[in-house]
Amino acid sequence: MNDMSLLISAAELPGDGPAIPVFLVGADGLDAALSELSGMQRRFVEASGFAAREAEIALVPDTEGALARVLFGLGKNKAHKPFLTGRLAQSLPAGTYRLAGEVKDARLAALGFALGGYRFARYRGGKEGGEEKTRPRLAVPPELDASELENTADSVALARDLINIPANDLGPAELTAACRDLAEACGADISVVEGAELEKEFPLIATVGAGSDRPPRLVDIRWGEADAPKVTLVGKGVVFDTGGLDIKPPSSMLLMKKDMGGAANVLGLARMVMRAGLKLRLRVLVPAVENAISGRAFRPGDVLKSRKGLNVEIGNTDAEGRLVLADALALAEEETPELIVSMATLTGAARVALGPDLPAFFATDDGLASALEAAARAEHDPFWRLPLWPDYDSWLASDIADVNHIASNAYAGAIVAALFLKRFVEKSAYAHFDIFAWAPKARPLGPKGGEAQAIRALFTYLAERYGRG
Protein backbone atom coordinates (compact mmCIF):
# COMPACT_ATOMS: atom_id res chain seq x y z
CA MET A 1 0.00 0.00 0.00
CA ASN A 2 1.00 3.61 -0.33
CA ASP A 3 3.66 4.26 2.29
CA MET A 4 2.74 7.81 3.22
CA SER A 5 0.65 10.72 2.22
CA LEU A 6 2.34 13.18 -0.11
CA LEU A 7 -0.06 15.88 1.04
CA ILE A 8 0.17 17.71 4.31
CA SER A 9 -2.29 20.29 5.54
CA ALA A 10 -0.79 23.76 5.99
CA ALA A 11 -1.69 23.60 9.68
CA GLU A 12 0.73 20.73 10.33
CA LEU A 13 3.81 22.05 8.54
CA PRO A 14 7.03 20.65 9.99
CA GLY A 15 9.15 22.88 12.21
CA ASP A 16 12.14 22.96 9.87
CA GLY A 17 11.07 26.07 7.99
CA PRO A 18 8.23 27.23 5.76
CA ALA A 19 7.17 25.41 2.62
CA ILE A 20 9.22 26.19 -0.49
CA PRO A 21 7.01 27.99 -3.04
CA VAL A 22 6.58 26.38 -6.46
CA PHE A 23 5.52 29.04 -8.97
CA LEU A 24 3.44 27.69 -11.84
CA VAL A 25 4.53 29.65 -14.89
CA GLY A 26 2.87 29.63 -18.30
CA ALA A 27 5.04 30.40 -21.32
CA ASP A 28 3.45 33.84 -21.46
CA GLY A 29 4.17 34.47 -17.77
CA LEU A 30 7.89 33.77 -17.94
CA ASP A 31 9.04 37.41 -17.99
CA ALA A 32 6.85 38.27 -15.01
CA ALA A 33 8.18 35.27 -13.07
CA LEU A 34 11.77 36.21 -13.84
CA SER A 35 11.19 39.83 -12.84
CA GLU A 36 10.44 38.69 -9.29
CA LEU A 37 13.89 37.18 -8.91
CA SER A 38 17.15 38.80 -7.79
CA GLY A 39 19.73 39.51 -10.52
CA MET A 40 21.73 36.46 -9.51
CA GLN A 41 18.71 34.17 -9.47
CA ARG A 42 17.52 35.46 -12.80
CA ARG A 43 20.90 34.88 -14.45
CA PHE A 44 20.97 31.39 -12.95
CA VAL A 45 17.54 30.49 -14.30
CA GLU A 46 18.29 31.98 -17.71
CA ALA A 47 21.62 30.13 -17.89
CA SER A 48 19.78 26.89 -17.15
CA GLY A 49 17.71 27.45 -20.32
CA PHE A 50 14.38 27.41 -18.48
CA ALA A 51 11.61 28.53 -20.86
CA ALA A 52 8.47 27.46 -18.94
CA ARG A 53 7.97 24.52 -21.29
CA GLU A 54 5.41 21.98 -20.13
CA ALA A 55 6.54 20.36 -16.82
CA GLU A 56 9.94 22.02 -16.98
CA ILE A 57 11.47 22.65 -13.56
CA ALA A 58 13.95 25.33 -12.45
CA LEU A 59 15.36 25.15 -8.93
CA VAL A 60 16.13 28.68 -7.76
CA PRO A 61 18.75 29.09 -4.99
CA ASP A 62 19.10 31.86 -2.42
CA THR A 63 22.42 33.61 -1.78
CA GLU A 64 23.49 30.76 0.50
CA GLY A 65 22.79 28.17 -2.16
CA ALA A 66 19.70 26.80 -0.40
CA LEU A 67 16.54 26.13 -2.41
CA ALA A 68 14.52 29.38 -2.32
CA ARG A 69 11.80 28.65 -4.84
CA VAL A 70 10.91 26.47 -7.79
CA LEU A 71 9.63 27.54 -11.18
CA PHE A 72 7.39 24.98 -12.88
CA GLY A 73 6.56 25.42 -16.56
CA LEU A 74 2.98 25.01 -17.77
CA GLY A 75 3.87 25.42 -21.45
CA LYS A 76 1.59 27.19 -23.89
CA ASN A 77 -1.56 25.12 -23.58
CA LYS A 78 -1.92 25.17 -19.84
CA ALA A 79 -5.73 25.12 -19.64
CA HIS A 80 -6.13 21.42 -20.41
CA LYS A 81 -3.74 19.86 -17.93
CA PRO A 82 -4.81 20.39 -14.35
CA PHE A 83 -2.79 17.35 -13.26
CA LEU A 84 0.55 18.47 -14.67
CA THR A 85 1.59 19.03 -11.05
CA GLY A 86 1.97 15.27 -10.81
CA ARG A 87 5.36 15.77 -12.44
CA LEU A 88 6.45 17.79 -9.42
CA ALA A 89 5.86 14.83 -7.14
CA GLN A 90 7.86 12.69 -9.57
CA SER A 91 10.80 15.08 -9.96
CA LEU A 92 11.30 17.46 -7.03
CA PRO A 93 13.93 16.77 -4.38
CA ALA A 94 12.78 15.91 -0.89
CA GLY A 95 11.22 18.79 0.99
CA THR A 96 7.94 20.50 1.76
CA TYR A 97 6.49 22.69 -0.99
CA ARG A 98 3.46 24.86 -1.64
CA LEU A 99 1.94 26.00 -4.94
CA ALA A 100 2.08 29.66 -5.99
CA GLY A 101 1.64 31.68 -9.18
CA GLU A 102 -0.85 30.69 -11.89
CA VAL A 103 -2.78 28.01 -9.99
CA LYS A 104 -6.08 27.63 -11.88
CA ASP A 105 -7.70 24.89 -9.87
CA ALA A 106 -5.87 24.43 -6.57
CA ARG A 107 -7.84 21.30 -5.67
CA LEU A 108 -7.02 19.41 -8.87
CA ALA A 109 -3.43 20.69 -8.77
CA ALA A 110 -2.97 19.24 -5.27
CA LEU A 111 -4.70 16.03 -6.30
CA GLY A 112 -2.42 15.81 -9.34
CA PHE A 113 0.57 16.01 -7.03
CA ALA A 114 -0.77 13.27 -4.76
CA LEU A 115 -1.76 10.91 -7.58
CA GLY A 116 1.32 11.67 -9.66
CA GLY A 117 3.59 10.68 -6.80
CA TYR A 118 2.13 7.17 -6.58
CA ARG A 119 4.67 4.37 -6.78
CA PHE A 120 4.29 0.61 -6.76
CA ALA A 121 7.35 -0.50 -4.78
CA ARG A 122 6.27 -3.87 -3.45
CA TYR A 123 8.74 -5.80 -5.59
CA ARG A 124 11.62 -3.30 -5.58
CA GLY A 125 13.63 -4.61 -2.64
CA GLY A 126 12.93 -1.47 -0.63
CA LYS A 127 14.97 0.75 -2.95
CA GLU A 128 12.15 2.72 -4.46
CA GLY A 129 9.75 2.58 -1.60
CA GLY A 130 10.31 6.20 -0.86
CA GLU A 131 10.96 6.65 2.79
CA GLU A 132 9.24 9.60 4.30
CA LYS A 133 12.26 11.88 4.33
CA THR A 134 13.32 11.35 0.74
CA ARG A 135 10.07 12.36 -0.94
CA PRO A 136 8.68 15.78 -1.78
CA ARG A 137 5.49 16.74 0.00
CA LEU A 138 2.92 19.37 -0.79
CA ALA A 139 1.39 21.65 1.84
CA VAL A 140 -2.29 22.03 1.04
CA PRO A 141 -3.72 25.54 1.62
CA PRO A 142 -6.28 25.81 4.44
CA GLU A 143 -9.19 26.53 2.08
CA LEU A 144 -8.86 23.02 0.63
CA ASP A 145 -10.13 19.91 2.40
CA ALA A 146 -6.85 18.04 2.89
CA SER A 147 -8.52 14.95 4.33
CA GLU A 148 -10.83 14.58 1.33
CA LEU A 149 -7.87 14.94 -1.05
CA GLU A 150 -6.06 12.32 0.95
CA ASN A 151 -9.11 10.08 0.87
CA THR A 152 -9.21 10.31 -2.92
CA ALA A 153 -5.46 9.76 -3.31
CA ASP A 154 -5.39 6.77 -0.97
CA SER A 155 -8.45 5.20 -2.62
CA VAL A 156 -6.94 5.57 -6.08
CA ALA A 157 -3.72 4.07 -4.70
CA LEU A 158 -5.70 1.11 -3.33
CA ALA A 159 -7.18 0.43 -6.78
CA ARG A 160 -3.79 0.82 -8.49
CA ASP A 161 -2.03 -1.42 -5.97
CA LEU A 162 -4.57 -4.23 -6.34
CA ILE A 163 -4.27 -4.12 -10.14
CA ASN A 164 -0.48 -4.01 -10.05
CA ILE A 165 -0.08 -7.02 -7.78
CA PRO A 166 0.59 -9.99 -10.07
CA ALA A 167 -1.83 -12.90 -10.17
CA ASN A 168 0.55 -15.25 -8.36
CA ASP A 169 0.15 -13.04 -5.29
CA LEU A 170 -3.46 -12.02 -5.87
CA GLY A 171 -5.76 -14.98 -6.37
CA PRO A 172 -9.46 -15.10 -5.48
CA ALA A 173 -8.52 -15.65 -1.80
CA GLU A 174 -6.22 -12.63 -1.68
CA LEU A 175 -8.73 -10.42 -3.49
CA THR A 176 -11.30 -11.54 -0.94
CA ALA A 177 -8.84 -10.72 1.86
CA ALA A 178 -8.41 -7.22 0.41
CA CYS A 179 -12.20 -6.83 0.50
CA ARG A 180 -12.20 -7.98 4.11
CA ASP A 181 -9.44 -5.54 5.08
CA LEU A 182 -11.37 -2.68 3.52
CA ALA A 183 -14.65 -3.69 5.16
CA GLU A 184 -12.97 -3.96 8.56
CA ALA A 185 -11.18 -0.62 8.19
CA CYS A 186 -14.44 1.12 7.30
CA GLY A 187 -16.85 -0.63 9.66
CA ALA A 188 -18.73 -2.49 6.93
CA ASP A 189 -20.26 -5.97 7.09
CA ILE A 190 -18.91 -8.61 4.77
CA SER A 191 -20.01 -12.07 3.77
CA VAL A 192 -18.35 -14.46 1.36
CA VAL A 193 -20.04 -17.25 -0.59
CA GLU A 194 -17.89 -20.16 -1.75
CA GLY A 195 -17.85 -23.92 -2.28
CA ALA A 196 -21.12 -25.84 -2.61
CA GLU A 197 -23.19 -22.79 -1.74
CA LEU A 198 -21.55 -20.82 -4.56
CA GLU A 199 -22.31 -23.66 -7.01
CA LYS A 200 -25.95 -23.63 -5.96
CA GLU A 201 -26.55 -19.89 -5.66
CA PHE A 202 -24.18 -18.44 -8.25
CA PRO A 203 -23.67 -21.10 -10.91
CA LEU A 204 -22.06 -18.84 -13.50
CA ILE A 205 -19.45 -17.60 -11.02
CA ALA A 206 -18.75 -21.14 -9.82
CA THR A 207 -18.47 -22.47 -13.37
CA VAL A 208 -16.14 -19.75 -14.67
CA GLY A 209 -13.90 -20.31 -11.64
CA ALA A 210 -14.04 -24.11 -11.80
CA GLY A 211 -10.94 -24.53 -14.00
CA SER A 212 -8.63 -23.02 -11.40
CA ASP A 213 -7.03 -24.65 -8.37
CA ARG A 214 -7.80 -21.41 -6.57
CA PRO A 215 -11.53 -21.61 -5.91
CA PRO A 216 -13.95 -18.81 -6.80
CA ARG A 217 -15.98 -16.69 -4.39
CA LEU A 218 -18.61 -14.01 -4.29
CA VAL A 219 -17.85 -11.18 -1.88
CA ASP A 220 -20.77 -9.15 -0.53
CA ILE A 221 -20.00 -5.97 1.47
CA ARG A 222 -22.67 -3.79 3.08
CA TRP A 223 -22.24 -0.43 4.74
CA GLY A 224 -24.42 2.43 5.94
CA GLU A 225 -27.86 2.89 7.46
CA ALA A 226 -30.22 0.11 6.37
CA ASP A 227 -32.99 2.57 5.47
CA ALA A 228 -30.82 4.96 3.42
CA PRO A 229 -31.13 4.92 -0.40
CA LYS A 230 -29.47 1.81 -1.79
CA VAL A 231 -26.56 1.94 -4.23
CA THR A 232 -24.87 -1.28 -5.34
CA LEU A 233 -21.46 -1.52 -7.00
CA VAL A 234 -20.45 -4.64 -8.90
CA GLY A 235 -16.84 -5.17 -10.00
CA LYS A 236 -15.37 -7.83 -12.27
CA GLY A 237 -12.81 -9.69 -10.17
CA VAL A 238 -11.12 -12.02 -12.65
CA VAL A 239 -7.70 -12.27 -11.04
CA PHE A 240 -6.23 -13.67 -14.24
CA ASP A 241 -7.83 -14.26 -17.64
CA THR A 242 -6.14 -16.93 -19.73
CA GLY A 243 -9.20 -16.95 -21.97
CA GLY A 244 -9.99 -20.45 -20.71
CA LEU A 245 -10.16 -23.20 -23.34
CA ASP A 246 -10.54 -20.41 -25.92
CA ILE A 247 -7.03 -19.50 -24.86
CA LYS A 248 -5.66 -16.04 -25.51
CA PRO A 249 -2.49 -15.59 -27.58
CA PRO A 250 0.55 -14.51 -25.51
CA SER A 251 0.40 -10.82 -26.39
CA SER A 252 -3.24 -10.63 -25.26
CA MET A 253 -2.65 -12.63 -22.09
CA LEU A 254 0.38 -10.66 -20.92
CA LEU A 255 -1.56 -7.98 -19.06
CA MET A 256 -4.41 -10.12 -17.80
CA LYS A 257 -3.50 -9.73 -14.13
CA LYS A 258 -5.45 -6.48 -14.54
CA ASP A 259 -8.70 -8.33 -15.29
CA MET A 260 -9.79 -7.67 -11.71
CA GLY A 261 -9.54 -3.94 -12.47
CA GLY A 262 -13.30 -3.52 -12.14
CA ALA A 263 -13.21 -5.00 -8.63
CA ALA A 264 -10.20 -2.84 -7.73
CA ASN A 265 -12.03 0.24 -8.93
CA VAL A 266 -15.29 -0.44 -7.10
CA LEU A 267 -13.26 -1.09 -3.93
CA GLY A 268 -11.49 2.25 -4.41
CA LEU A 269 -14.84 3.96 -4.94
CA ALA A 270 -16.36 2.19 -1.93
CA ARG A 271 -13.45 3.37 0.19
CA MET A 272 -14.08 6.97 -0.84
CA VAL A 273 -17.81 6.66 -0.13
CA MET A 274 -17.37 5.04 3.28
CA ARG A 275 -14.55 7.35 4.42
CA ALA A 276 -16.57 10.42 3.39
CA GLY A 277 -19.65 8.98 5.12
CA LEU A 278 -22.03 9.56 2.21
CA LYS A 279 -25.68 9.24 3.17
CA LEU A 280 -26.46 6.06 1.31
CA ARG A 281 -26.67 2.34 1.88
CA LEU A 282 -23.73 0.89 -0.01
CA ARG A 283 -23.40 -2.65 -1.24
CA VAL A 284 -20.34 -3.96 -3.06
CA LEU A 285 -20.40 -7.27 -4.94
CA VAL A 286 -17.18 -8.79 -6.21
CA PRO A 287 -17.15 -12.12 -8.02
CA ALA A 288 -13.53 -13.21 -7.45
CA VAL A 289 -12.47 -15.91 -9.90
CA GLU A 290 -9.58 -17.09 -12.04
CA ASN A 291 -10.36 -17.99 -15.66
CA ALA A 292 -7.95 -20.90 -15.95
CA ILE A 293 -7.51 -24.00 -18.09
CA SER A 294 -7.89 -27.55 -16.81
CA GLY A 295 -10.02 -30.66 -17.16
CA ARG A 296 -12.56 -28.92 -14.95
CA ALA A 297 -12.74 -25.79 -17.07
CA PHE A 298 -16.03 -24.87 -18.75
CA ARG A 299 -16.25 -25.33 -22.51
CA PRO A 300 -17.50 -23.50 -25.59
CA GLY A 301 -20.97 -24.84 -26.32
CA ASP A 302 -21.81 -25.57 -22.68
CA VAL A 303 -25.19 -24.36 -21.49
CA LEU A 304 -25.29 -22.98 -17.95
CA LYS A 305 -28.28 -22.11 -15.86
CA SER A 306 -27.71 -18.66 -14.34
CA ARG A 307 -28.82 -17.44 -10.91
CA LYS A 308 -31.64 -15.57 -12.60
CA GLY A 309 -32.84 -18.80 -14.21
CA LEU A 310 -31.87 -17.91 -17.77
CA ASN A 311 -30.07 -20.69 -19.61
CA VAL A 312 -26.90 -19.22 -21.11
CA GLU A 313 -25.08 -20.83 -24.03
CA ILE A 314 -21.32 -20.34 -23.91
CA GLY A 315 -20.07 -18.94 -27.20
CA ASN A 316 -16.49 -18.33 -26.09
CA THR A 317 -14.85 -19.06 -22.74
CA ASP A 318 -12.87 -15.83 -23.04
CA ALA A 319 -16.07 -13.81 -22.57
CA GLU A 320 -16.06 -14.85 -18.90
CA GLY A 321 -16.45 -11.43 -17.37
CA ARG A 322 -20.05 -10.93 -18.40
CA LEU A 323 -20.92 -14.35 -16.94
CA VAL A 324 -19.61 -13.65 -13.44
CA LEU A 325 -21.15 -10.19 -13.55
CA ALA A 326 -24.52 -11.61 -14.63
CA ASP A 327 -24.95 -13.64 -11.44
CA ALA A 328 -23.75 -10.75 -9.26
CA LEU A 329 -26.10 -8.32 -11.05
CA ALA A 330 -28.98 -10.74 -10.57
CA LEU A 331 -28.28 -10.73 -6.83
CA ALA A 332 -28.03 -6.92 -6.83
CA GLU A 333 -31.42 -6.65 -8.55
CA GLU A 334 -33.15 -8.82 -5.98
CA GLU A 335 -33.39 -5.89 -3.56
CA THR A 336 -34.00 -3.33 -6.36
CA PRO A 337 -31.50 -0.68 -5.31
CA GLU A 338 -31.95 2.87 -6.55
CA LEU A 339 -28.78 2.56 -8.60
CA ILE A 340 -26.53 -0.26 -9.77
CA VAL A 341 -23.05 0.51 -11.13
CA SER A 342 -20.86 -2.15 -12.67
CA MET A 343 -17.20 -1.72 -13.56
CA ALA A 344 -15.25 -4.23 -15.60
CA THR A 345 -12.34 -4.77 -17.96
CA LEU A 346 -14.97 -6.38 -20.09
CA THR A 347 -14.11 -6.07 -23.78
CA GLY A 348 -11.16 -5.43 -26.06
CA ALA A 349 -13.72 -3.70 -28.28
CA ALA A 350 -14.13 -0.81 -25.80
CA ARG A 351 -10.41 -0.15 -26.03
CA VAL A 352 -10.47 -0.37 -29.83
CA ALA A 353 -13.29 2.18 -29.92
CA LEU A 354 -12.02 4.70 -27.38
CA GLY A 355 -8.42 3.86 -26.50
CA PRO A 356 -6.95 3.12 -23.09
CA ASP A 357 -7.62 6.51 -21.45
CA LEU A 358 -11.32 6.80 -22.14
CA PRO A 359 -13.62 4.19 -20.59
CA ALA A 360 -16.88 3.37 -22.33
CA PHE A 361 -19.99 3.77 -20.25
CA PHE A 362 -23.61 2.82 -20.67
CA ALA A 363 -26.63 4.08 -18.80
CA THR A 364 -30.29 3.11 -18.79
CA ASP A 365 -31.34 6.66 -17.99
CA ASP A 366 -30.43 9.87 -19.84
CA GLY A 367 -30.61 12.03 -16.71
CA LEU A 368 -28.21 9.72 -14.91
CA ALA A 369 -25.89 9.73 -17.93
CA SER A 370 -25.71 13.50 -18.20
CA ALA A 371 -25.18 13.95 -14.46
CA LEU A 372 -22.32 11.44 -14.63
CA GLU A 373 -20.84 13.23 -17.64
CA ALA A 374 -20.95 16.55 -15.76
CA ALA A 375 -19.11 14.97 -12.82
CA ALA A 376 -16.54 13.52 -15.23
CA ARG A 377 -15.86 16.97 -16.67
CA ALA A 378 -15.60 18.60 -13.24
CA GLU A 379 -13.15 15.98 -12.00
CA HIS A 380 -11.21 15.59 -15.27
CA ASP A 381 -11.97 11.89 -14.94
CA PRO A 382 -13.33 11.19 -18.40
CA PHE A 383 -15.55 8.51 -19.93
CA TRP A 384 -17.66 8.36 -23.07
CA ARG A 385 -21.19 7.12 -23.45
CA LEU A 386 -22.04 4.34 -25.87
CA PRO A 387 -25.64 3.30 -26.55
CA LEU A 388 -27.47 0.25 -25.26
CA TRP A 389 -28.63 -0.10 -28.87
CA PRO A 390 -31.82 -2.16 -28.64
CA ASP A 391 -31.68 -3.65 -32.14
CA TYR A 392 -28.43 -5.43 -31.38
CA ASP A 393 -30.00 -7.30 -28.49
CA SER A 394 -31.28 -9.91 -30.95
CA TRP A 395 -27.67 -10.82 -31.76
CA LEU A 396 -27.61 -12.65 -28.43
CA ALA A 397 -30.12 -15.24 -29.64
CA SER A 398 -29.09 -18.86 -29.10
CA ASP A 399 -30.12 -21.86 -31.20
CA ILE A 400 -30.78 -24.00 -28.14
CA ALA A 401 -30.80 -21.84 -24.98
CA ASP A 402 -32.52 -18.69 -23.68
CA VAL A 403 -29.55 -16.53 -24.56
CA ASN A 404 -26.05 -16.71 -25.95
CA HIS A 405 -23.51 -14.63 -24.12
CA ILE A 406 -21.74 -13.37 -27.23
CA ALA A 407 -22.85 -12.41 -30.71
CA SER A 408 -21.93 -14.53 -33.68
CA ASN A 409 -20.65 -11.47 -35.52
CA ALA A 410 -17.67 -9.24 -34.62
CA TYR A 411 -19.51 -5.92 -34.49
CA ALA A 412 -19.95 -3.51 -31.57
CA GLY A 413 -18.44 -5.85 -28.98
CA ALA A 414 -18.65 -3.42 -26.06
CA ILE A 415 -22.33 -2.69 -26.77
CA VAL A 416 -23.24 -6.36 -27.12
CA ALA A 417 -21.53 -7.15 -23.80
CA ALA A 418 -23.44 -4.32 -22.11
CA LEU A 419 -26.71 -5.57 -23.62
CA PHE A 420 -26.00 -9.01 -22.19
CA LEU A 421 -25.46 -7.50 -18.71
CA LYS A 422 -28.63 -5.44 -19.11
CA ARG A 423 -30.63 -8.68 -19.34
CA PHE A 424 -29.89 -9.19 -15.65
CA VAL A 425 -30.92 -5.71 -14.51
CA GLU A 426 -34.56 -5.02 -15.20
CA LYS A 427 -35.78 -2.56 -12.59
CA SER A 428 -32.93 -0.57 -11.05
CA ALA A 429 -31.29 2.38 -12.81
CA TYR A 430 -28.06 1.01 -14.17
CA ALA A 431 -24.70 2.40 -15.27
CA HIS A 432 -21.98 0.12 -16.62
CA PHE A 433 -18.32 1.11 -17.15
CA ASP A 434 -16.14 -0.89 -19.54
CA ILE A 435 -12.69 0.22 -18.35
CA PHE A 436 -9.10 -0.53 -19.36
CA ALA A 437 -7.78 -0.09 -15.78
CA TRP A 438 -4.24 0.34 -17.04
CA ALA A 439 -2.01 3.23 -18.04
CA PRO A 440 0.15 2.00 -20.94
CA LYS A 441 2.76 4.69 -20.26
CA ALA A 442 3.78 7.06 -17.46
CA ARG A 443 1.90 10.37 -17.31
CA PRO A 444 1.82 13.30 -14.89
CA LEU A 445 -1.10 11.59 -13.16
CA GLY A 446 0.90 8.47 -12.41
CA PRO A 447 3.28 5.80 -13.57
CA LYS A 448 2.69 3.08 -16.13
CA GLY A 449 0.51 0.36 -14.64
CA GLY A 450 -2.79 -0.20 -12.88
CA GLU A 451 -5.13 2.75 -13.08
CA ALA A 452 -8.29 3.98 -11.42
CA GLN A 453 -10.82 5.18 -13.97
CA ALA A 454 -14.17 6.89 -13.47
CA ILE A 455 -14.23 6.49 -9.70
CA ARG A 456 -13.42 10.10 -8.86
CA ALA A 457 -16.28 11.21 -11.08
CA LEU A 458 -18.60 8.55 -9.66
CA PHE A 459 -17.76 9.65 -6.13
CA THR A 460 -18.53 13.28 -7.00
CA TYR A 461 -21.84 12.22 -8.53
CA LEU A 462 -22.79 10.15 -5.47
CA ALA A 463 -21.70 12.90 -3.04
CA GLU A 464 -23.86 15.44 -4.88
CA ARG A 465 -26.85 13.14 -5.13
CA TYR A 466 -26.86 11.74 -1.60
CA GLY A 467 -24.88 14.24 0.47
CA ARG A 468 -22.19 13.78 3.07
CA GLY A 469 -22.83 12.54 6.57
Tell which one of 413, 444, 446, 450 touches ligand BES (CB under 6 A).
413
**Is the separation of the CB atoms in 95 and 120 below 8 Å?**
no
Interface pattern 257-296 for ligand BES (x via CB under 6 A): --x-------------------------------------
Interface pattern 227-266 for Zn ion (x via CB under 5 A): -----------x--x-----------------x-------
Tell which one of 318, 381, 434, 451 touches Zn ion (CB under 5 A).
318
Q: Which residues contact 455 (CB under 8 A, 6 or more apart)?
A: 155, 156, 159, 265, 266, 268, 269, 272, 343, 381
Burial of 229 (0-12, 13-18, 19+ CB in 10 A): middle
Q: What is the nearest approach in angstroms of ligand BES to the Cβ of residue 149?
A: 30
Distance from C-alpha of 239 to C-alpha of 209, rounded to nearest angstrom = 10
382 contact choice in ligand BES, Zn ion, none (CB below 5 to 8 Å, kind-dependent): none
Distance from C-alpha of 42 to C-alpha of 47, rounded to nearest angstrom = 8
Taking CB under 6 A as the rule, does residue 312 contact ligand BES? no
Taking CB under 6 A as the rule, does residue 345 contact ligand BES? yes
Distance from C-alpha of 95 to C-alpha of 136, rounded to nearest angstrom = 5
Nearest to 416 by CA among 408, 404, 407: 407
Nearest to 371 by CA among 461, 467, 466, 279: 461
Tell which one of 5, 306, 347, 460 touches ligand BES (CB under 6 A).
347
Taking CB under 5 A as the rule, does residue 333 contact Zn ion? no
- Which amino acid is present at 217? R
406 contact choice in Zn ion, ligand BES, none (CB below 5 to 8 Å, kind-dependent): ligand BES
Q: What is the nearest approach in angstroms of Zn ion to the Cβ of residue 375?
A: 27
- Report the half-sphere exposure of 386 (CA within 13 A, side-chain side): 22
Using CB atoms, what's the residue nearest to ligand BES?
348
Tell which one of 141, 203, 348, 440 touches ligand BES (CB under 6 A).
348
Tell which one of 56, 150, 161, 320 touches ligand BES (CB under 6 A).
320
* Active-site choice (119, 230, 283, 322): 322
Rg (CA), the chain: 24
Distance from C-alpha of 293 to C-alpha of 367, rounded to nearest angstrom = 43
> Does 322 participate in catalysis according to the annotation?
yes
- Which amino acid is present at 306? S
Tell which one of 220, 241, 290, 373 touches ligand BES (CB under 6 A).
241
Taking CB under 6 A as the rule, does residue 313 contact ligand BES? no
Calculate the alpha carbon distances from 283 to 288, 301, 335 in Å. Answer: 16, 34, 11
Question: What sections of 334-425 are H helices per DSSP?
Answer: 348-354, 366-379, 413-422
Tell which one of 406, 421, 445, 455 touches ligand BES (CB under 6 A).
406
268 contact choice in Zn ion, ligand BES, none (CB below 5 to 8 Å, kind-dependent): none
- Which amino acid is present at 423? R
Q: What is the nearest approach in angstroms of ligand BES to the Cβ of residue 407?
A: 8
Q: What is the nearest approach in angstroms of Zn ion to the Cβ of residue 245?
A: 11
Taking CB under 6 A as the rule, does residue 351 contact ligand BES? yes
Question: What sections of 117-257 are H helices per DSSP?
Answer: 146-164, 172-186, 195-201, 203-209, 250-253
Of 10-18, 179-187, 340-348, 419-427, the segment contacting ligand BES by CB under 6 A is 340-348
Taking CB under 5 A as the rule, does residue 451 contact Zn ion? no
Of 47-55, 88-96, 347-355, 442-450, the segment contacting ligand BES by CB under 6 A is 347-355
Taking CB under 6 A as the rule, does residue 318 contact ligand BES? yes
**Is the separation of the CB atoms in 187 and 275 below 8 Å?**
no
Residues that bind ligand BES in the complex, under the rule CB under 6 A = 241, 259, 316, 318-321, 345-349, 351, 406, 413, 436
Residue positions annotated with a catalytic role:
248, 322
